[in-house]
Amino acid sequence: MIFYRRFVFLRNPAETESPGARKVMRCPYCGNFDDKVVDSRTLANGAAIRRRRECTRCSFRFTSYERIEDKPFMVIKRDGRRQPFDRAKIERGVQRALEKRPVSQMSIENLVNEIEDAAAMRGKINHEIAAADIGDLTLEKLGALDKVAYIRFASVYRHFNDLEEFVREIQNMGGGV
Ligand SMILES: [Zn+2]
């Protein structure tokens, strides 16, 4: 079993079919090897399973993704190059947009999970997704959570050319920022 970011690739597809099967995962916080699964979801028609886990030692919660294939999930950058999907990158962008905003870490974690899930769904056939699609997904989710963060993210991500464009974007949001 290879741990790839938060994706766990299963060598043996049968592993996913035994519900009680124990996967050894390392707690990213304290390094403990024992956790309990608190939530489990099948994504993209069974191509991946997301599990929320809680460390039995420190109670830290983390997420694992298990995929049946050995193929990594890739992101197609604007210049056409591909690089492995990196959840941390999304997390950083979202954190930056939400800096000093009244939004809990739990909401941020959920938001990033939603973006990751949506990306996995969208890219399920070719195991890849355009970076622009991830940007759009992020905008969409941020817009529902916090309008200031939305504008911050949009201004970085969409590189507004002028003030007019920026104002238009705000108006599209429904005005009240
Ligand atoms: Zn732990």
The percentage of residues in the chain with a pLDDT greater than 70, rounded to a whole number, is: 73
- Determine the distance separating the centroid of ligand 1 and the alpha carbon of 128, expressed in angstroms: 31
Region for 87 from its dihedrals, namely left if φ exceeds 0, alpha if ψ lies in -120 to 50, beta otherwise: alpha
The C-alpha R_g of the chain, in whole angstroms, comes to 18
Q: Determine contact, residues 115/88, Cβ cutoff 8 Å.
A: no
Domain residue ranges in the chain: 1-71, 72-177
- Determine the distance separating the centroid of ligand 1 and the alpha carbon of 72, expressed in angstroms: 26
The conformation of residue 16, written as its DSSP 8-state character, comes to G
When comparing pLDDT for 103 and 171, which is higher? 103
When comparing pLDDT for 128 and 172, which is higher? 128
When comparing pLDDT for 86 and 22, which is higher? 86
pTM score, two decimals? 0.61
Residue corresponding to tokens 């079919």: 17
- Cα gap 146→139, rounded to integer Å: 10
Q: Give the pLDDT mean for 130-145.
A: 92
Q: Coil, helix or strand for 72?
A: coil
Q: Determine contact, residues 66/8, Cβ cutoff 8 Å.
A: yes
- Determine the distance separating the centroid of ligand 1 and the alpha carbon of 105, expressed in angstroms: 18
| Confidence class for position 24, pLDDT limits 50, 70, 90 | low
By the CB criterion, residues less than 5 angstroms from ion ligand 1 are 27, 29-30, 32, 55, 57-58, 60
When comparing pLDDT for 171 and 96, which is higher? 96
Q: Give the pLDDT mean for 52-74.
A: 81
- Statement: residue 14 has pLDDT above 70: no
